[in-house]
C-alpha cells in the first residue's frame, strides 16, 4: 500500500469518526454523568470535561484541515474555518463553566430547600432561630454565577460576530466569483463552438492550397471536435463546482455561528436574571438574621420558600439551554466537516 493511499484511508476514517453524532438524549445522559464529577473529589478540569463532550475534537479537526483540499490562498478558507472551530471549542468550554456554576447552585439550594421545609415543623422560637442561623452558611458563600462575568459573554459574542462577519464576507466574494464564472461559461460556450468551426474551416482552406486536399478533407471532417469541446467545458466548470463546495462550507459555518451567537445572548440574560435572584434571596435571609423577629422572619422565609420553586425551574431551564447549546456546537462542527469531506471525496474521484 502506497503512502498516499494509506493517508487517504486515514483521512477518510477521520471524516467518518467526525460525522458520528449523538441524539440529545444520549448526549444529555453522558453530560449528566460527567457534570456530577465536577464537584466530586476527582475534580475534572473544564478542559478535560470539554474535550470529552466536544465533537469532533480539536485534534480531529486539525488532521482534517491539514489534509483537506482548499482553493488558492487568496480565499484564506483554511484559516477562516480553523478560527471558526477554535471559537466554537472555546464556547464549549464556557458552557462547561456554566454547568459547573449550575451544579453548585443546585447543591446550595438543595440545602436551602431542606431548611425551608423544616419551618412548618418548628414548635418553638428556639428551633426557628436555629433554622435561620443554618441559612447563614448559605449567604456567606459566593454567588456561583458571579464568576460568569458579563464581559465573558460579551467577548464570546464579539468573537462570534467577527467570525460571522468574515464568513458572510467570504461567502459573498465566492458567490460573485461563481456568478462571474457562470457568465463567462455562458459566453464562452458559443465561442468554443465557433472556434471549433473556424478550426475546421481554416484547415480546409489550408488543405485546399495543397496537393493533399482530397486526402485531408475526410480526415479533417472526422476530427473529434465534440470530445475536445466537452473537455474544455469540463475544465472550466470544474473550478466553478469546487467554489460551490466552498460556498456550502461557508454557508453552514455562518448559520451555525449565527445560531450560537443567539444562544449565548439568551444564556447571558438567563444567567443575569438568576444571579440577581440569588443576591435578592441572600439579602432577604440577611434581613431575617439582622431583625431577629420570629414573626417577620417567618413570613419572609415562607415567601422565599414559594419563590424557590420558580427559581429552581429557571435553573433547570438554563441547564437545558446549555446542553442544547453544546449539542448545537457539535452538530454545527459536524456539518462543516461534512461539507469539507464532500470536497475532499470529489477531489479524489
Contact 182, 268 (CB under 8 A): no
* pLDDT given at position 181: 80
Give the model's pLDDT for residue 20.
53
- Per the CB < 8 A criterion, the answer to whether 334 and 55 are in contact is yes
User: What per-residue confidence (pLDDT) applies to 24?
Assistant: 61
- Nearest of 111, 58, 64, 110 to residue 87 by alpha carbon: 58
- The closest of 324, 329, 332, 182 to 251, measured between CA atoms, is 332
Continuous segment of H or E residues that includes residue 187: helix 150-208
List of residues 6+ apart from 242 with CB closer than 8 A: 71, 343, 346, 347
Residue 23: predicted pLDDT: 63
CA torsion angle 306 310 315 317 (round to 10): 160
Angle, helices 294-348/77-117, rounded to nearest 10 degrees: 160
User: What does each of the 349 residues of the chain score in pLDDT, given as a tens digit?
Assistant: 454 444 444 555 555 554 554 566 677 677 777 666 655 544 555 566 667 788 888 888 888 888 777 765 666 788 889 999 999 999 998 998 898 899 889 988 888 888 888 877 765 666 677 777 778 888 888 899 988 877 788 888 888 899 999 999 888 888 888 888 878 777 755 454 554 555 544 444 454 555 444 444 454 445 454 554 455 444 444 456 777 888 888 898 899 899 888 999 999 999 999 999 999 999 988 888 787 666 777 788 888 888 888 999 999 999 989 988 888 898 899 888 888 877 655 554 5
Question: What's the half-sphere exposure (Cβ side, CA atoms, 13 Å) at 144?
Answer: 18
Amino acid at each position: 500500500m502506497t503512502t498516499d493511499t494509506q493517508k487517504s484511508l486515514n483521512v477518510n476514517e477521520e471524516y467518518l469518526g467526525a460525522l458520528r453524532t449523538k441524539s440529545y438524549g444520549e448526549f444529555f445522559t453522558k453530560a449528566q454523568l460527567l457534570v456530577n464529577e465536577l464537584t466530586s473529589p476527582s475534580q475534572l478540569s473544564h478542559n478535560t470535561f470539554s474535550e470529552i463532550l466536544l465533537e469532533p475534537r480539536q485534534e480531529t479537526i486539525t488532521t482534517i484541515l491539514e489534509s483537506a483540499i482548499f482553493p488558492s490562498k487568496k480565499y484564506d478558507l483554511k484559516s477562516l474555518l480553523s478560527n471558526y472551530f477554535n471559537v466554537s471549542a472555546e464556547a464549549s468550554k464556557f458552557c462547561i463553566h456554566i454547568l459547573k456554576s449550575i451544579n453548585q447552585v443546585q447543591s446550595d439550594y438543595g440545602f436551602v430547600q431542606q431548611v425551608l421545609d423544616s419551618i412548618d415543623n418548628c414548635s418553638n422560637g428556639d428551633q426557628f432561630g436555629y433554622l435561620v442561623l443554618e441559612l447563614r452558611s448559605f449567604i456567606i458563600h459566593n454567588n456561583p454565577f458571579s464568576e460568569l462575568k458579563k464581559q465573558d459573554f460579551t467577548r464570546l459574542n464579539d468573537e462570534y460576530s467577527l467570525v460571522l462577519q468574515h464568513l458572510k464576507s467570504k461567502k459573498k466574494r465566492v458567490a460573485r466569483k461563481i456568478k462571474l464564472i457562470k457568465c463567462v461559461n455562458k459566453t464562452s460556450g458559443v465561442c468554443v463552438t465557433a472556434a471549433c468551426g473556424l478550426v475546421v474551416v481554416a484547415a480546409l482552406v489550408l488543405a485546399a492550397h495543397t496537393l493533399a486536399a482530397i486526402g485531408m478533407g475526410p480526415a479533417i471532417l472526422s476530427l473529434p471536435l465534440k470530445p475536445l469541446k466537452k473537455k474544455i467545458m469540463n475544465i472550466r466548470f470544474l473550478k466553478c463546482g469546487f467554489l460551490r463546495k466552498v460556498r456550502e462550507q461557508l454557508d453552514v459555518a455562518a448559520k451555525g455561528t449565527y445560531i450560537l451567537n443567539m444562544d449565548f445572548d439568551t444564556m447571558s440574560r438567563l444567567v443575569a436574571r438568576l444571579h440577581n435572584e440569588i443576591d435578592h434571596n441572600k439579602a432577604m435571609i440577611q434581613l431575617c438574621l439582622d431583625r431577629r423577629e420570629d414573626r417577620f422572619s417567618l413570613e419572609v422565609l415562607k415567601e422565599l420558600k414559594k419563590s424557590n420553586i420558580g427559581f429552581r425551574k429557571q435553573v433547570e431551564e438554563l441547564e437545558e439551554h446549555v446542553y442544547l447549546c453544546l449539542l448545537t456546537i457539535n452538530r454545527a462542527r459536524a456539518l462543516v466537516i461534512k461539507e469539507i469531506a464532500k470536497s475532499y471525496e470529489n477531489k479524489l474521484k
